[in-house]
Homo-oligomer: A and B are copies of this chain.
């Protein structure tokens, strides 16, 4: 069977796996696959079973990541990793993460069906807890694998279970004690490449009418998940000059950051600001009280490290200005950061060439989102990504990726791998 036909022939398998993970995460109207919980665990089991059915060896590492290996008979170089994640946000969609893991399975299935034996070990990775919603810190599985956990990460607590990250990993069969060293579980120099297919989280491919894109770079981020503003609770009768309104300070801060974003974009420096949590504490909600407390989160993204550092300086300047003007204190609190992830130039070219051979138009785009690929790139692993067309954005119940678009990405991955391999024998 020609490879292109072999790819198309995997459509039912891919659809079955997409439907399977959707059933596991069903939480109408969306999808919730909780990290280190039943959602992620059951999805791992489904993927492991599918890999084993293809003759892959299933294993896990100290971070409880799933690793499915299709061994080369006579390896000619370090393994090729294809990964993504199986967890979702709360009431998110089905495709953010899971589509990339399933793409790895689909590519292996297609290569096997075409009779192509890999020259290198091919490993499909289901990395744990990519979404920051569970611990206020994202990309955890790849951080564990590559020794990139920030200090204190193992003591963070799961938003739903209250267990620490260490306890959560142990409960899933991982080994948190090994992780305390925070050194790579495997030497990244022994990884030939890390490839990831991921739905696009913006509508640029929908606008462009293209099923997929070759990614140029992932943004790095600076995150403060739990910013707290403290002013003074007061009665609605308090004159303006006496008020220390924490909610309005939050409004000031958010709009100042938005103005910064628009100014930077206008100056040709792409970035993004997202404030997902933005709230007066509900326990003391009153129609007739000025709120002395306010909480918010901040996710700030940019594509190079110097720009991110400059933006962090701007953030501190804005915070100081708002705090002084409103008479409130603003504690940025916990800070996490992820380095920007430029893709490997040779992989950008290689994936573009594979797309051309497959007859797929594939524009090159900056990724709007950060991904596990950032950690591999930061650890020196040659990293490449394909972005798959998706309507309605991500992290919401209305994500909409069409399976033929994912099959196109699988075709490009399989073609690129085939290019590493001897012809079928």
Contact = CB atoms under 8 A, between A and B. Distances in A.
Given A251-B250, A252-B255, A395-B234, A239 B368 contact: yes
A237 B90 contact: no
A282 B278 CA distance: 9
Give how many copies assemble into the complex.
2
A83 to B, nearest CB: 19
Interface in A49-92: 89-91
Interface in A213-244: 223, 225, 232-240, 242
Contacts of A255: 248, 251-252, 255
Interface stretch (A34-42, A131-139, A376-384, A416-424): A131-139
A286 B235 contact: no
Nearest to A135: B287
B274 A290 contact: yes
Given A240-B272, A280-B277, A286 B395 contact: yes
Interface centre among A233, A252, A262 (most CB of B within 10 A): A233
Interface centre among A89, A202, A235, A368 (most CB of B within 10 A): A235
Contact of A201 (B223, B238, B396): B238
B276 A280 contact: yes
Interface centre among A91, A245, A286, A397 (most CB of B within 10 A): A286
A258 B393 CA distance: 34
Contact of A276 (B131, B236, B283): B236
Contacts of A278: 247, 250-251, 279-280, 291, 294
B289 A234 contact: no
A265 B232 CA distance: 22
A299 interface: yes
A275 B200 CA distance: 37
A198 to B, nearest CB: 10
A355 B30 CA distance: 66
A285 B277 contact: yes
A10 interface: no
A91 B291 CA distance: 13
A284 interface: yes
Interface in A376-416: 393-398
Contacts of A280: 276-279
A254 B245 CA distance: 11
A297 interface: yes
Contact of A299 (B90, B236, B279, B299): B236
A288 B132 contact: yes
Contacts of A398: 233
A251 B250 CA distance: 8
A39 B203 CA distance: 54
Contacts of A251: 250-252, 254-255, 278
Contacts of A284: 90-91
A392 to B, nearest CB: 8
A239 B276 contact: no
A223 B238 CA distance: 17
A28 B191 CA distance: 58
A301 interface: yes
Given A138-B287, A204-B239, A238-B368, 8 more contacts: A132-B288, A133-B288, A202-B239, A233-B393, A251-B255, A276-B286, A276-B290, A287-B299
23 contacts: A89-B289, A131-B288, A132-B288, A201-B236, A204-B239, A233-B395, A234-B393, A235-B394, A240-B258, A240-B262, A240-B265, A245-B275, A250-B251, A251-B254, A255-B255, A276-B285, A276-B289, A276-B290, A277-B287, A278-B279, A279-B280, A279-B282, A292-B396
